[in-house]
Amino acid sequence: MMEKRGNEIWLYEDQTPNMKLGLRIRDVLYNRKSDYQEVVVADTFQYGRALLLDGAFQITEGDEFCYHEMMAHVPLCAHPNPRHVLIVGGGDGGVLREVLKHECVERAWLVDIDKDVIEVSRRFFPGVSCELDNPRAEVVAQDALKFIKGKRAQFDVAIIDSTDPVDFAEGLFRREFYRDVFEALRDDGLCVAQSESPFCMADVLSQAYGEMKAVFPVVKVYWGVMPTYPSGTWTYTVGSKLYDPSIPRRLVSFKTRYYTFDVHRACFALPPFISGLLEEGKAI
């Protein structure tokens, strides 16, 4: 939602029925309806260019690294030799960019249902989408629920970079999808899914944790900061067939802005209110 205040234009996301995030913008650079959702690119004063899908902030140039580094490097460093990686969603290319920084990754598949998001990111976010044409990447515009069906022992790591669990993305938070991912992973594979804010969407976190725990023998939650996401605190849920994902097994050999070895170990230390809602299956 956009609002004009005198000579200023503000862009708002209704993050909950009782909370909004507002950013003052210079201009709207793109605003069209794709086959699946409304796609908006705006130039903000605080965080640079921002991508919104159906009114929800997905990335901004100013803070995207916080999310993309934690989505990619925690699972990849928890695995001793991730060669084949699946990315579900993430059409902006940010997770793919981080995944391909790992030289051991031979092939990465990015599967996003909305080809318009991929093309908009190419056009307006070159620093994020810079690896979409990497020869080690295969970019597929397809429903991931269909793509994953029938895959057997093909991937070492799966990264579920989905939007909020509504409409076409709702199935990405269900047990049936996690079972398909489980089958598509090798015997020592693991997956990570973004699981929303423990303050604003605690029920989603609790559900994702419970659904993944019904499928994977090892399930843990880690957390980090993400300023433009609801509450600024974000969680990630990992399901693993073998390894404890809280233990980094490899060091990164490249420069990072958020992720480090120490951050990896620390991010699995949960505040009592988060561990409590996971144990009780209740939202705060």
CATH of 64-280, one of 3.40.50.2300, 3.40.50.720, 2.60.40.1180, 3.40.50.150: 3.40.50.150
Give the helix ranges, DSSP H, for 214-260.
none
CATH class of 2-60: mainly beta
> For the segment 12-62, what is each residue's pLDDT rounded down to a tens digit?
999 999 999 999 999 999 999 999 999 999 999 999 999 999 999 999 999
Assigned token pair, 14 = 């209704």
CA triple 218-254-161, angle to 5 deg: 45
Does the annotation count 187 as an active-site position?
A: no
> Please, what is the average pLDDT of the chain?
94
Are 2-60 and 64-280 in the same CATH fold?
A: no
| For residues 53-76, average pLDDT | 97
CA 80 to chain centre: 22
User: What is the value of pTM for the model shown?
Assistant: 0.95
Q: At what angle do helices 202-213 and 272-280 cross, to 10 degrees?
A: 60
Three-state DSSP at 52 gives: strand
Instruction: Give residue-wise pLDDT tens across range 208-239.
Output: 999 999 999 999 999 999 999 999 999 999 99
Domain ranges for the chain, please list them.
Answer: 2-60, 64-280
Residues in Cβ contact with 266 at an 8 Å cutoff, skipping those fewer than 6 apart: none
Beta pairing partners, 117: none
- pLDDT at site 283: 44
What pLDDT band is residue 165 in, cutting at 50, 70 and 90? Answer: low
Cβ atoms 140, 111 nearer than 8 A: yes
Q: End-to-end CA distance of the chain: give it in Å, rounded.
A: 28
Q: Which of 220, 216, 218 is nearest to 237 (CA)?
A: 220
Residue 141 in tokens: 């515009």
User: Which residue among the candidates 156, 161, 164, 180 is catalytic per the annotation?
Assistant: 161
